């Protein structure tokens, strides 16, 4: 299946203050440092990793809510970085985002009806009456009542607010939605309801999701493929079942070792990483994970491993994982 989205070589560095007395150039935070990813129609690609690894920044780069410093972003075959503003505005109708915070992402001064209708207004879609009908349909589809359109966000629970955010994201019938930790702020009892709603909508509409999360149990439930990020780079990418059954990168192994498996007769050995996550201002030479990796060698300090195919559908960036034909 052809890719709905194909991003290559995404880079984003943020300034970290003025240079010091003996520094020639200002320091930068290497938030995203050469990320490749793709999403097919109807597929969910999960981005996972520790806080600060660049997951959310990657999602915003893809939507051009933040401008990349380098890289290409092909959406339905069109290069988003080369499109003129008018054409980019049209393409934005097909790309939406669900934010992490269901409390801060909704304007408290606006009614729910205005919030959900706002994308339609911005893009000049429909008459006032047509927008009202569309809002009522969307609210019903996400499990709310059309009468809720007259209320304000403070009158709803966190789960209901996230449903409003989902309705807003669906208003323009997008093809791709970036889901930035969409259930992390919700009670566990509500998370399953929202996740099931998202899966139902995906099946109905053929939506592609980029699902950003640090919760691997949620990722296992939602994703088709998983990309593991560490300090601005993808270190492993594989189909969900393959990744959970046999992780290859030492960092992936450590992450998965922390996921409990209720009902499993086999005790899981927890891999505890030593040391802190290095600074994205001055990442380690070579492999960025080497300072916490129990298997690091001198080669890991000298050479940065490339994300390399090691099996059908699996890519790993590790000198200790041997590609086919190099054993």
Residues 132-177 have pLDDT tens digits of 999 999 999 999 999 999 999 999 999 999 999 999 999 999 999 9
pTM for the model stands at 0.91
Kind of pairing, strands 208-212 and 44-48? parallel
Distance in angstroms (rounded) separating the CA atoms of residues 38 and 8? 9
β-pairing, 28-39 vs 78-79, is unpaired
CA end-to-end distance (rounded Å), the chain: 31
Asked if residue 102 has pLDDT above 90, the reply is: no
**Confidence at residue 58, expressed as pLDDT on a 0 to 100 scale:** 97
**CB distance 233 to 34 below 8 Å:** yes
Average pLDDT estimate for 174-202: 93
Give the pLDDT confidence score for residue 188 in this predicted structure: 86
Question: In this model, does residue 106 exceed pLDDT 90?
Answer: yes
Judged by average pLDDT, the poorest of 16-20, 86-90, 196-200 is 16-20
Give yes or no for residue 267 having a pLDDT over 60.
no
Q: Half-sphere exposure of 34 toward its Cβ, with a 13 Å CA cutoff? A: 7
Question: In this predicted structure, what is the pLDDT of residue 26?
Answer: 77
Six-digit token string for 144? 């709310």
pLDDT given at position 271: 81
The C-alpha atoms of residue 287 and residue 308 are separated, in whole angstroms, by 14
Tokens 């009806």 label which residue?
113
% pLDDT > 70, the chain: 93
The predicted structure's pLDDT at residue 234 = 97
pLDDT band, residue 118 (cuts 50/70/90): very high
Closest CA to 207 of 97, 112, 105: 97
Band of the pLDDT at 270, cuts 50, 70, 90? confident
For the cut 70, the answer to whether the pLDDT of residue 1 exceeds it is: no
Q: In whole angstroms, how far apart are CA 183 and each of 25, 189, 215, 219, 305?
A: 40, 11, 10, 11, 33
Residue-level pLDDT at 325: 55
- Mean pLDDT to the nearest integer, 204-230: 96
SS3 72: strand
Average pLDDT across the chain, whole number: 91
Average pLDDT over every residue of 46-50: 95
Position with higher pLDDT, 207 vs 25: 207
Is residue 299 predicted with pLDDT exceeding 80?
yes
Q: What is the pLDDT of residue 81?
A: 93
Mean pLDDT of 301-322: 92
Retrieve residue 57's tokens: 């920044």
What whole-number distance in Å separates Cα of residue 81 and Cα of residue 71? 9
Question: In the predicted model, what is the mean pLDDT of residues 55-83?
Answer: 95
CB 193 within 8 A of CB 218: no
Is 16 exposed, middle or buried (CB count within 10 Å of its CB: 0-12, 13-18, 19+)? middle
Model pLDDT, residue 154? 95
CA angle, 209 as apex, 94 and 118 as ends, to 5°?
40
Could you identify the residue written with the tokens 């922390």? Answer: 258
- The pLDDT of residue 258 is 79
């Amino acid at each position: 299946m052809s890719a709905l989205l194909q991003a290559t070589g995404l880079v984003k560095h943020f300034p970290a203050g003025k240079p010091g007395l003996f520094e020639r150039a200002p320091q930068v935070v290497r938030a995203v440092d050469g990320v490749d990813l793709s999403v097919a129609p109807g597929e969910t690609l999960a981005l996972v990793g520790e806080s600060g690894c660049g997951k959310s920044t990657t999602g915003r780069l893809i939507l051009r809510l933040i401008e990349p410093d380098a890289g290409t972003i092909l959406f339905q075959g069109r290069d988003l970085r080369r499109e003129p503003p008018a054409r980019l505005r049209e393409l934005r109708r097909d790309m939406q985002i669900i934010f992490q915070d269901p409390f801060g992402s909704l304007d408290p001064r606006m009614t729910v009806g205005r919030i959900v209708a706002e994308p339609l207004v911005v893009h000049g879609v429909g008459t006032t009456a047509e927008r009202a009908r569309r809002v009522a349909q969307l609210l019903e589809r996400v499990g709310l009542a059309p009468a809720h359109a007259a209320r304000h966000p403070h009158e709803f629970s966190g789960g209901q607010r996230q449903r409003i955010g989902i309705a807003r994201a669906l208003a323009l019938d997008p093809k791709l939605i970036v889901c930035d930790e969409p259930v992390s702020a919700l009670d566990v009892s509500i998370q399953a309801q929202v996740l099931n709603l998202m899966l139902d909508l995906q099946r109905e509409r053929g939506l592609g999701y980029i699902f950003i999360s640090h919760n691997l149990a949620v990722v296992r439930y939602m994703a088709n493929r998983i990309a593991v990020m560490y300090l601005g780079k993808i270190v492993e990418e594989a189909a969900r079942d393959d990744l959970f059954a046999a992780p290859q990168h030492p960092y992936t192994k450590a992450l998965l070792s922390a996921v409990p498996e209720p009902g499993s007769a086999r005790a899981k050995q927890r891999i505890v990483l030593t040391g802190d996550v290095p600074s994205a201002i001055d990442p380690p030479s070579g492999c960025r994970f080497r300072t916490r990796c129990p298997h690091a060698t001198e080669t890991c300090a000298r050479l940065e491993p490339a994300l390399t195919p090691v099996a059908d559908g699996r890519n790993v960036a590790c000198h200790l994982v041997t590609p086919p034909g190099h054993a």
